[in-house]
Amino acid sequence: MLLQLALGLFAIGAVFGLTMAVMHFRGISPPRVWLAAVHSVFVAAGLMVLFVAVWPDFRGRASLALGIFALAALGGFTMALGFHLRRLRLPSGLVVGHGALAVIAFLILLFAAFAL
């Protein structure tokens, strides 16, 4: 049940993340503060729920997804603190890398949640 909740939170966060990525590649960068904030809230909640779901074993695909989501979060923090707060254009490679890690983690979590 917790894995499905985490999936839902990440899915909502992904909608806002994809919106920001599309805006970035259309020349609107850094993104709107409210978009980044909503994205961050849903993804952080997803990370917390996923952490609770795999605690204390940290084994299996859900734990792997947590680790990859954590790497994606580092990219998100880098964009937020290193570029967004200073009103600088986000690096496209970091935007793509952050999104790619998140998609990979989401798919792994999807397989873990539904035992595919």
- Does pLDDT of 50 surpass 80? yes
CA angle, 54 then 58 then 64, to 5° = 90
For the stretch 53-73, pLDDT in tens is 999 989 999 999 999 999 999
What's at 83, amino acid-wise? F
**88-115 mean pLDDT:** 97
The confidence band for 115, taking pLDDT boundaries of 50, 70 and 90, is: confident
The pTM of this model reads: 0.94
In angstroms, the Cα distances linking 11 to 4, 28, 42, 86 are 10, 23, 9, 28
